[in-house]
Chains A and B, each alone.
Chain A
Amino acid sequence: MAHGPKPGFTRWLYTTNHKDIGSMYLWFSFAMFLLGGCMALVIRAELFQPGLQIVQPEFFNQMTTMHGLIMVFGAVMPAFVGLANWMVPMMIGAPDMALPRMNNWSFWILPFAFAMLTSTLFMEGGAPNFGWTFYAPLSTEYAPPSVTFFIFAVHIMGASSIMGAINIVATILNMRAPGMTLMKMPLFVWTWLITAYLLIAVMPVLAGVVTMMLMDIHFGTSFFSAAGGGDPVLFQHVFWFFGHPEVYIMILPAFGIVSAIIPTFARKPLFGYSSMVYATASIAFLSFIVWAHHMFTVGMPIAGELFFMYATMLIAVPTGVKVFNWVSTMFRGSMTFETPMLFSIAFVILFTLGGFSGLMLAIAPADFQYHDTYFVVAHFHYVLVPGAIFSITAGVYYWLPKWTGNMYNETMGKVHFWMAFVGLNVTFFPMHFVGLAGMPRRIPDYALQFADFNQIASVGAFLFGAAQIVFLFNVIRTVQGGKKATDEVWENPEGLEWSVPSPAPYHTFSTPPVVR
C-alpha cells in the first residue's frame, strides 16, 4: 500500500501526513518571518535619524507591537512545530504523528488567526499599539477597538499551540520504535517533549489573561483597574507567568537542533547526553519561578525582589552546562564547517553573549538601570535571533537534503550565513551601548546622543533582511533540483532519519525499525 500524496490543492487542505503538515508550518512561519521582518525594517528606517521622518508615533507603536506578536507567535513557534512534525516521527521511528487529524486542524486555524491579527492594521483606530506584552490598562481602557480582534487571534493561536503540543507528547510517549527508550531519544525529541509540557502548562494562562482583558473591556469587570478594586500589576504577574516559560518554549527546541548538528560536523558523539537532558528539565522547572524578573521596577516587596533575583541567577547554571557540553563536543573533534555547522557555532557564541547580558539583567539593582532600555532589546534579540532563528535556519539546511533529496547550494548557504551573522551583530550589538547610555525602548524618536549607533543598527537590519532573500532563493532552488543527496547526506550522522532514503518517502517506518 505505497500511497503517494493526492494531486492538487486538496492534498494540502485535507492532509494528515506529518511531512506535508510540517512543510506547511515551515512555509507559513517563513512568510510570517518576512512580514514581521518588514515591520522591523519600518521601525529601523524610522530610527535611522532623530526626528520623525517616515511614520507617526501611533503607527510606530503598531509596528513594534505587531513585529513582536508576529515574530513570537507566527514565525518562531510555528517553525519549531514544523520541524517537530517533520522530524519527531522520523527520529523515533514512528509512521506519523499520533493524532493526524488534529494535526491538520492545529495548522489550518493558524492562517486565520494571523489574517485576523494583520487585518487590524486596516481598522479604524489602527492595529494593537500597546507592545507585544500588552500591559493593562493601556491594552484595556486605553486600547484601540481592534484589541478585541487581537484577543480572538491570541485565543486561536493558543488553541493551535496546545493541540500541537498534545500531539507531540502523545507521539513521543506512545509511538517510539521498539528499543527506543527515553534515554536513547535524540535531544531534539527530548527538548520538544519538555517544550510541549511547557506549552500545555502556560498557553491556558495566556488565554486566561486575554479573557480577563476581554471581560474588563466589554463586560464591566475590573481585574486590571484599581478604580474598580483590581490591580494593573496583576496583569503583569499573569502575563509573565505565561511569558517566561514562553521564552524557553522558543529556545529549548533550538538546543535540541544544535545538539544534533554539532556532533555530526565534529564527527564526535555529543558530550554529556544525560546532563543535557537534566539541564533542559531544570531550565524548564526554573522557568516557572522567575517570571517577576521582568517586573523588578513595579514596586515588589524586597523579599519578592530577592527571590526572583536568586532564582533567575540560578538559570545560568544549567544553561552554562549546555554551553560547556557543546564546546566539549567540538573539542578534539574533526570539524568541518558546512552551513548548518556555521549557524550552530554562531548560535553557541551569540546565545552565550545573550546569556551574559541575561545574567546582568538578573541582578535586580542593576536591572533598575537596564530595565525597559535598548539594553533589554539587545539582550532578547541576542537570545532570540541567533538562538531561535539561527537554530531553525541551521536545522533547515541540515535536514533539507533529507526532505527534498537534493543538496542545497553550499556557496549560497555560506553567503547567507555571513550576511546574516554580520547583519545581526551590526544591528543588535550597538543596542547594548545606547541602552546603557540611557535610551528607552519603544520610542519613535530619540535624543541626539543616540544618533550614531542607531544609524549603524539600521544599516545592519537591512543587511540582515537581505540575507533572508538569499535563504529563500537557496531553498526554492533546492526544492526544484540540484545535486542528489545520499541517504546519509552527511558523514556518518546519528539518528533514524538518516536510515530512510532521500528524499524521505511520503510514508516512512510503516513497519517500526528496531533500535539496538
Chain B
Amino acid sequence: MLMGLKRLFAFLTLSALAPGAFAQEAAEKAQEGVQRWGVNMTQGVTEVSRTTYDLHMLIFWICVAIGVVVFGVMFYSMWRHRKSKGYKAAQFHESTLVELAWTIVPTLILVGMAFPATKTLYDIYDTKEADLDIMITGYQWKWKYDYLGSDVSFFSNLSTPLTQINNQQAKTENYLLEVDEPMVVPINKKIRFLITANDVIHAWWVPDLAVKKDAIPGFVNESWTRIDEPGIYRGQCAELCGKDHGFMPIVVKAVPEDEYHSWLSERAEQAALIKELTNKTFTFDELYERGKKVYNSACAACHQPNGQGVPGAFPAIAGSQVATGGMDSHLSMVVNGSPNNPAMQAFGAQLNEVDLAAVITYQRNAFGNNMGDTVQPIDILNFKNK
C-alpha cells in the first residue's frame, strides 16, 4: 500500500515537473548562489530539517512552474493583444470544459504535494523513545533549560552588551544571537524538548534544527531533534512576547557524547558548589560586585542599567519605596514578584540564593540609594522557608 502511494506520488511530482525538468540543473546552480547570499531556508543539521528543506523547494518549484505558464500566457497576451497594434477582441466568454480542467488539474497537483507533507509531519510528531529530555521554559525575556533527571538547570540570557544595541560600540559577529549560557546537547541522540512558558506565550525556534514550537504558560508542548554535526546553532524567540521579544536568542551547542557528559557533571558540581556558598558570609564588596552583574542580566532590561526604569511602564529602583524601605518587603518583591503587576516576576525560582542576596544588596546601595545594609544568602534561604 505504502509503496503504491510512493510510486503514485513520484509519478505526480514528475508529471507536474516534467516541463520544468530541463531547468532542474540550472536551478541547482542557482541554489548554490542563493545559499551563499543567505536568501533561502537553511538545510540544517538534522534529518527533519533536510526533509523540510526538500519539501519547501519542491513546492517552490511547483509554484515557479505554474507561474511560468500563467504569467507566460498573460505577458504574451499583453504583448500581442493590444488595441494599439490593431488587435480585434474575440468575444468568447465561457467554456465548461476549460473550467473543469483548471479545477481538476490543480487539485491533483495539491494531492501530490500532500503526500510528502503528511509523511514529514508524522516524523516531526514522533516524540517517542527519546534518549534525553530537556525542559525549556520561556520567561520575559530569557530561556530556562532543565536537564530532566539531573540537577542541571540554568537560565540563558542575551549576552550582547547594551552599548552595542545603542550604537555606542561596534557590533560583533553574533550580534543579538549570543547568550551567556548556551544549551549544550550531544550529537546523534534523540533529544526530546518539553516546552512551556512562565508568563506569556513565547516560541522556541532554531532554524538549523527545524524546531519551532510555542511555549505556552500552563501547558507543555513536545518536540524533538537528533543533530548530526557538532556545532553552534542559533535561533530566536518567534512569538511576540513583549518589549524585549527581539532580545531573547537561543544558542544550542551540539558536542560529541563524551564531551556532553563531562559538561553535564561539571554543571552538576557547580550547582553543588552554589549550595555550599549559601552558608558562607560575604563581605559588602563581594555582594555589591556580584550583584551588579546579576542586576545587569536579570533586572536592567526593565529597570534600566541606571536604575531609572521607564516612566509609565517600569518603576525606577533609584529612590524607590521598596529598595529604600524595609528589608522584608524588598525580599518579598524580588523573591515572590509583585502581587499587582505580573511583569515583575518571582525571581526566587530564577536566581540562586547567592545571586539573590547579591542583587538585593546592590539595589539597596547603588543608584544613590545608599542604605548601607547587606543581606546574606542564608537570610534569603530563611525567608524562602518562612
A residues adjacent to B (C-beta < 8 A): 50-53, 56-58, 61, 124-126, 129-131, 135, 137-138, 141-142, 144, 225-227, 231-233, 266-275, 297-299, 302, 305-306, 309-310, 313-314, 316-317, 320-321, 323-324, 327-336, 345, 348-349, 352-353, 356, 359-360, 363-366, 368-369, 371-373, 432-433, 436-438, 440-449, 453
Contact assessment for A130 and B240 in the assembled complex, using a CB-CB cutoff below 8 Å: yes
Looking across the interface, which residue of chain A has its beta carbon closest to that of B178? A447
Q: Are B125 and A302 in contact (CB under 8 A)?
A: yes
9 tightest A-B contacts by CB?
Answer: A226-B218, A443-B246, A299-B221, A433-B39, A334-B89, A356-B63, A269-B93, A365-B120, A332-B90
**Cβ B212 vs Cβ A125 within 8 A:** no
Q: How far is the CB of B210 from chain A (nearest CB, A)?
A: 6
The reply to whether B52 and A368 contact each other, CB–CB distance below 8 Å, is: yes
Q: How distant is the Cα of A352 from the Cα of B243 in the complex, in angstroms?
A: 35
Q: With a CB–CB cut-off of 8 A, which chain B residues contact A368?
A: 52, 124, 210-212
Does A345 contact B78, Cβ atoms closer than 8 Å? yes
Interface stretch of the complex, out of B128-136, B166-174, B292-300: B166-174
Given A135-B201, A137-B201, A271-B94, do A445 and B106 touch, yes or no (CB 8 Å)?
no
Complex interface: chain A residues within 8 A of B125 (CB): 302, 305
Cβ of B84: which chain A residues have Cβ within 8 Å of it?
Answer: 336
Which of B95-103, B259-267, B330-338 lies at the interface with chain A? Answer: B95-103
Contact B110 A317 (CB under 8 A): yes
| CA distance in complex: A316, B121 (Å) | 21
A216, chain B: closest CB distance, angstroms: 12
Residues of A within 8 Å of B205, CB to CB, are: 372, 440
Min CB gap B18→A, angstroms = 19
Interface status of B181 (Cβ within 8 A of chain A): no
Given contacts A302-B125, A368-B124, contact A324 B243 (CB under 8 A): no
CB < 8 Å: which of A313, A330, A353 contacts B74?
A330
B residues 211-234 touching A (CB-CB < 8 Å) = 211-214, 216-219, 221-222
- Asked if residues B93 and A321 are in contact (CB atoms below 8 Å), the reply is no
Interface contact A233-B165, CB-CB below 8 Å? no
A299–B213 touching, CB < 8 Å: yes
Interface: B148 (CB within 8 A):
no
Which among A135, A349, A364 is the interface contact of B240 at CB below 8 angstroms? A135
Chain A residues whose C-beta falls within 8 Å of the C-beta of B87 in the assembled complex: 332-335
Q: Which of B68-108 contact A (CB under 8 A)?
A: 70-71, 73-74, 77-78, 81-84, 87-95, 98-99, 102-103, 106-107
Contact A364 B103 (CB under 8 A): no
Residues of B within 8 A of A274 (CB): 94
| Interface contacts beyond A61-B240, A332-B92, A445-B176: sample of 16 additional A-B pairs, CB < 8 Å, sorted by A | A51-B171, A56-B310, A231-B218, A232-B216, A267-B83, A268-B91, A272-B93, A306-B121, A327-B70, A328-B98, A329-B93, A364-B121, A366-B56, A368-B124, A372-B212, A440-B237
Distance between Cα atoms of A24 and B52 in the complex (Å): 49
| Bound CA–CA A210/B124 (angstroms) | 34
A52:B82 contact, CB within 8 angstroms: no
Q: Is there a chain A Cβ closer than 8 Å to B200's Cβ? A: yes
- The stretch that binds A, out of B111-119, B357-365, B369-377, is B111-119
Q: A138-B201, A349-B71, A433-B38 are in contact. Are A321 and B99 (CB under 8 A)?
A: yes
How far does the alpha carbon of A305 sit from the alpha carbon of B221 in the complex, in Å?
14
Q: Are A363 and B239 in contact (CB under 8 A)?
A: no
- Specify which of A366, A436, A445 lies most central, judged by the most chain B CB atoms within 10 Å of its CB: A366
Q: Which of B30-78 contact A (CB under 8 A)?
A: 37-42, 51-52, 55-56, 59-60, 63, 66-67, 70-71, 73-74, 77-78
Query: Is the beta-carbon distance between A443 and B218 smaller than 8 angstroms?
Result: no
Q: Nearest Cβ in chain B — how far from A264, in angstroms? A: 11
Q: Is the CB of B59 within 8 A of A359?
A: yes
With a cutoff of 8 Å between Cβ atoms, the chain B residues found around residue A272 in the complex are 93-95, 98-99
Alpha-carbon separation in the docked complex, A274 to B95 (Å)? 11
- Residue from B113, B117, B140, B243 within 8 A of A58 (CB atoms): B243
Residues in chain A near residue B95, CB distance under 8 A: 272
With A57-B246, A125-B313, A233-B219 already in contact, the answer to whether A297 and B212 are too (CB < 8 A) is yes
- Partner of A359 from B63, B83, B165 at Cβ < 8 Å: B63
A-B contact pairs, 24 of them (CB 8 A): A52-B166, A56-B310, A57-B245, A58-B243, A126-B312, A142-B199, A231-B218, A275-B99, A309-B117, A309-B118, A317-B107, A320-B106, A321-B102, A330-B77, A360-B60, A363-B55, A363-B56, A364-B117, A369-B52, A437-B39, A440-B236, A442-B245, A442-B246, A443-B236
A447 to B177, CA, bound (A): 7
Tell me, in angstroms, the Cα distance from A309 to B110 when the chains sit together: 11
Nearest chain A residue, comparing its CB with the CB of B314: A58
B279 to chain A, nearest CB (A): 35
Within B156-207, the residues touching A (CB, 8 Å) are 164-167, 171, 173-177, 199-201, 203, 205, 207
Whether B219 lies near A231 (C-beta < 8 A) is yes
- Does B285 make an interface contact (CB < 8 A)? no
Contact A51/B164 with A126-B313, A369-B56 known, Cβ cut-off 8 Å: yes
Residue of A nearest to B93 (CB): A269
Contacts of A366 on B, CB cut-off 8 Å? 52, 55-56, 59, 117
Contacts of B174 in A (CB 8 A): 447
For residue B122, CB closer than 8 A to chain A, the reply is: yes
What is the chain B residue whose CB lies nearest that of A59?
A: B243
Residue in A56, A348, A432, A447 with the greatest tally of chain B CB atoms within 10 Å: A447
The answer to whether A268 touches B110, judged by C-beta atoms less than 8 angstroms apart, is no
Chain B 324-365, CB-CB to A under 8 Å as 1, else 0, gives 000000000000000000110000000000000000000000
Provide the bound-state CA to CA distance between A436 and B117, in Å.
18
Once the chains bind, are B217 and A135 in contact (CB under 8 Å)? no
Tell me which of B90, B106, B113, B167 contacts A51 (CB under 8 A).
B167
The minimal Cβ–Cβ distance linking A157 to chain B, given in whole angstroms, is 22
**Chain A residue with minimal CB distance to B206?**
A438
Q: Give chain A residues whose Cβ lies under 8 Å from the Cβ of B59.
A: 359-360, 363, 366
Tell me, in angstroms, the Cα distance from A324 to B101 when the chains sit together. 11
Q: Flag B243-258 by CB within 8 Å of A: 1 or 0 each.
A: 1111100000000000
B204: nearest residue on chain A (CB-CB)? A297
Q: How far does the alpha carbon of A329 sit from the alpha carbon of B52 in the complex, in Å?
A: 38
Q: Are A313 and B114 in contact (CB under 8 A)?
A: yes
- Establish whether residues A332 and B217, one from each chain, have CB atoms under 8 Å apart when the complex forms: no
Residue of B nearest to A302 (CB): B125
Contact A335 B82, beta carbon cutoff 8 Å: yes
Interface membership of B368, Cβ < 8 A? no
Say yes or no: is B380 at the interface (Cβ < 8 Å to chain A). Answer: no
Tell yes or no: B238 within 8 A of A by CB.
yes
Query: Taking the nearest CB of chain A, how far is it from the CB of B242, in angstroms?
Result: 6
A365 touches B81 (CB 8 A): no
Q: Which residues of B contact A310 (CB under 8 A)?
A: 114
**B235 on the interface (CB 8 Å rule)?**
yes
Chain A residues with CB under 8 Å of B77's CB are 327, 330-333, 335
B381 interfacial by beta-carbon distance below 8 Å: no
Given the contacts A142-B343, A352-B67, A448-B175, A363 and B113 also touching, CB distance less than 8 Å: yes
Query: Looking across the interface, which residue of chain B has its beta carbon closest to that of A227?
Result: B218
Choose from A125, A298, A313, A349 the contact partner of B216 (Cβ within 8 Å).
A298
**Which B residue sits closest to A141, measured CB to CB?**
B342
Choose from B83, B107, B244 the contact partner of A334 (Cβ within 8 Å).
B83
**Chain B residues near A52 (CB-CB < 8 A):** 165-167
Known: A271-B93, A297-B203. A349 touches B52 (CB 8 A): no
Q: Does B316 contact A (CB under 8 A)?
A: no
Are the C-beta atoms of B110 and A314 separated by less than 8 Å? yes
- Which residues of chain A come closer than 8 Å to B242, judged between CB atoms? 61, 129-130, 138, 142
What CA separation (Å) do A274 and B99 show in the bound complex? 10
Give the distance to chain B from A367, nearest Cβ to Cβ, in Å: 9
A332 with B245: CB separation less than 8 A: no
